[in-house]
Amino acid sequence: MHNTVSESLPGTVSPRKLEANRANALKSTGPVSEAGKLRSSRNAKRHAALASAATLLARYVADFRPSSVHEETLVQEIAASAGA
**pLDDT tens-digit readout, 11-51:** 788 999 999 999 999 988 889 899 999 999 888 888 888 88
Neighbours of 42 (CB within 10 A): 9
CB 49 within 8 A of CB 17: no
CB 55 within 8 A of CB 69: no
CA diameter of the chain? 58
Between 70 and 52, name the one with better pLDDT: 70
CA dist 75 and 54 (Å) reads: 12
pTM for the model: 0.43
